[in-house]
Structure 1
Amino acid sequence: MDPRLAFLRLTADITFSLPIVCSFQNRTSGAVGQVELNYWPPRNGASKAPDHLLLFILGNPGLLGYYPHFLSHLHSLLPPSHAILATSHIGHSTRVPGPTVPLSLSQQVASKVELVEAIRGYLDDWALQEGQNKPKLGLMGHSVGAYMACEVMKELNTEKPRPVCAAYLLFPTLGWIADTWNGWTLWPIFHRPVKPVLPYLSPLLRPLFSLVNLPETSQSLLLSPAILKDVLSLSSDEMRQIRELDTEWFKAQGADQAGESEGLFGVWTKGNGDGWVGKDGPLVQECLGGEISGRVKVLDGVPHAFCLTREHSEVVAEIVAGWICPNGFRPKTPSVPVEQPHHPLGSNIVPM
């Protein structure tokens, strides 16, 4: 069994506070590096493999500090035999060292493929040792993390039994990012001459932090030139590479799935409220059968950076929990609080 994933055997007890901070060493050629992870083990404390492990792929910036309340709330809603593992991106961590040269979007995807294959093999071997049924492995991605989740499924789910049972796309950026509102307005920071110098100018912003309501994780990003360099490099790749949609593939992930809990599911912001999503949003929603199919949720008033407020985090967590456990979980009807929470500065921009 892969020793890089030995942390999956840790149990939720008083010894550890959740999430458990850990890491994974990628070895794929061209995508070598250490990636930071957060792990929520099954609440039942059993020594057996989890019945279902959900791997969450972050957006960009891939900083785990944006998501703890969302993932902790989701973990509390799922059955006690379920686990959640959240993965950052190589170079997007203040805890583990990054590469000297930023990884491209394709290289980051390759690192996720390696991680998913390793998890699939580890869970299968563990279950075989314990005489269990094969655990389910699902993916969940926010923003460009949703794009990465889809790319992983395209590469690995080519034969049955499929290694990944489902993917949950949260405010996904799946096509033509450069043509979105934020893609147009923020174009200068992703290109020369601004992009190369911006990471080195960011520490000069420290005196302004006391004057603005900026999330602590965003402050740590702006004070870390090396991480900011990786973030901007990945952003530039997104603008160039995430273009045309494979609509036939998306259609096959909806109506063609054998089970109601398999395939793709997605959450979007209503109307033009998401500055990172353009015409790809309605197209993918249509491919999945629209809201009537039960695979699509379009929310009014919940922004792209939903994870920056507790209220929005809980709304989205309840939706995902209902998809994962359609027969065993009945969430309350998602609703946005009557009094909208104050959106921190940059909530429409960070995370992407």
Structure 2
Amino acid sequence: MSSVLPVTTQIPGEISFHPISEDPSAAHHLIYFITGNPGLISYYNTFFQTLHELLSSSMSSTSNVFHIHGQSLAGFEDDTAKPFKPAPYSLEDQISLSLRTLQSLTILSDPRKSQPYTSIILIGHSVGSYILLELINRLRKSSSPLNIKAGILLFPTVTHIAQSPSGVKISTLFRIPDFPRRASFVARNVVSVLPRSWLRWLVGVVTGMPDEAAEVTTGFLRSRMGIWQALHMAKDEMEQITEDRWGEDIWGAEHEDVNHKYRVPKLVFYFGEKDHWVADHTRDALIAARGRGEEEMKSSKPIMLIDENGVDHGFCIRHSESIAEMVKVWIEEIMLE
């Protein structure tokens, strides 16, 4: 059987689970998670904990050991251990930093400490799904030795985000010169006059968030750069997440060439039924162009599903457990391939 080390808490803005296996022949797999915007990993505490428990109790947990790692996107955490950056990070910065972290991760537990993982499964939420596809694309182009086995894209914003209901609204605001910086300055001045307990109460009343999410949001609003970082990155998203920019090396072909040296990672997309950050028509167009049809069961093209359970775009606020249960099933199916 396998036992579990405590969650890594030494580094701000990270969540990590590193199980120990008593089986020296066990395969160690990394699940690398990329957040949405605002990019605070603490929003996903319940999702991580649930997924970890489900995978640890799986029948295959002795032969396949799953390590989980996720971290906040840059600029969202007040990390006193690092020099303060007086300007926000771009979407390109986030991709580069995520890639650098992914390439640096190795097994932390004995007896295979410091060795590379057998395979890697990427999970991205919202704009994290766009970053996920870019990571696969850049690793492929660099002939990286990392074995990216699959990607799971939750409520993905990978094309034409500006055409979504919320994208249309916020794009109008971005026509105001220097809107991200100006808006964050005003917002920070407003929240700074409120005691933290009052702001925490107000966040809960206005948003209806559960206690844990309201606490994370309160910290985000009071941070030095969080609001500016979120708005600056959102502006980048509106400008850059437009046309489908990936080819068959990412999307796969109708019938995979078994003689081709590059194995296309399996992709699973899970869209919201009514997602305010994804327009129905752009989602449906992507599914029609890139998704796997019922007659293409042997295809390497992505599986694309639409939620039928009323889960919001921000699933991590109220639906972490149900999404973790689905992700666990997908991971088990991926491991059988």
Same fold (TM over 0.5): yes
Deviations 1:191-247 (A, max 9, x none): 535422222222414456534235221121112241211111111111111111036
Secondary structure of 1:216's aligned partner: helix
1:39–1:86 Cα contact (<8 Å) kept:
yes
Question: What root-mean-square deviation, in Å, do the aligned CA atoms of Structure 1 and Structure 2 show?
Answer: 3.5
Aligned with residue 152 of structure 1, among 135, 143, 151:
135
Distance 1:267 1:128 in 2: 34
Aligned with residue 73 of structure 2, among 86, 89, 96:
89
* Higher relative contact order (CA closer than 8 Å, sequence separation 6+): 2
Deviation at 1:288, TM superposition (A): 2.7
Q: Which residue of 2 aligns with 1:221?
A: 220
Deviations 1:1-50 (A, max 9, x none): xxxxxxxxxx834xx3x3x1244xxxxxxxxxxx8321011264789986
Distance 2:26 2:165 in 1: 44
Aligned with residue 154 of structure 2, among 170, 175, 182:
170
Q: Which residue of 1 aligns with 2:331?
A: 324
Q: After superposition, where does 1:115-130 map in structure 2 within 5 Å?
A: 115-119=101-105, 122-123=106-107
Does 2:271 match 1:268? yes
How high is the TM-score relative to the length of structure 1? 0.73
- 107 and 45 in structure 1: CA distance in 2 versus 1, 3 angstrom threshold: farther
Deviation at 1:261, TM superposition (A): 11
Q: After superposition, where does 1:1-352 map in structure 2 within 5 Å?
A: 12-13=4-5, 16=6, 18=7, 20-23=8-11, 36-42=13-19, 44=21, 51-79=28-56, 80=61, 81-95=65-79, 97=82, 98-119=84-105, 122-123=106-107, 135-158=118-141, 159=143, 163-190=147-174, 191-192=176-177, 194-203=179-188, 204-205=190-191, 206=194, 207=198, 209-211=200-202, 212=205, 213-214=208-209, 215-246=214-245, 248-249=247-248, 250-252=250-252, 256=256, 262-270=265-273, 273-278=274-279, 279-286=281-288, 287-289=290-292, 295-300=303-308, 301-309=310-318, 312-326=319-333
Distance 1:107 1:275 in 2: 25
Unaligned runs of 5+ in 1: 1-10, 24-34, 330-352
Distance 1:267 1:84 in 2: 20
- 288 and 327 in structure 1: CA distance in 2 versus 1, 3 angstrom threshold: closer
- 216 and 133 in structure 1: CA distance in 2 versus 1, 3 angstrom threshold: closer
The count of residues paired between Structure 1 and Structure 2 equals 297
1:140–1:167 Cα contact (<8 Å) kept:
yes
Unaligned runs of 5+ in 2: none
Distance 1:171 1:210 in 2: 29
Matched residue type, 1:53: L
Deviation at 1:133, TM superposition (A): 9.4
Distance 1:327 1:193 in 2: 45
Secondary structure of 1:326's aligned partner: helix
How high is the TM-score relative to the length of structure 2? 0.76
Q: Which stretch has the larger CA shift, 249-258 or 73-82?
A: 249-258
Distance 1:291 1:219 in 2: 45
Distance 2:254 2:116 in 1: 25
Q: Which stretch has the larger CA shift, 151-160 or 297-306?
A: 151-160
Distance 2:161 2:72 in 1: 21
- 291 and 298 in structure 1: CA distance in 2 versus 1, 3 angstrom threshold: farther
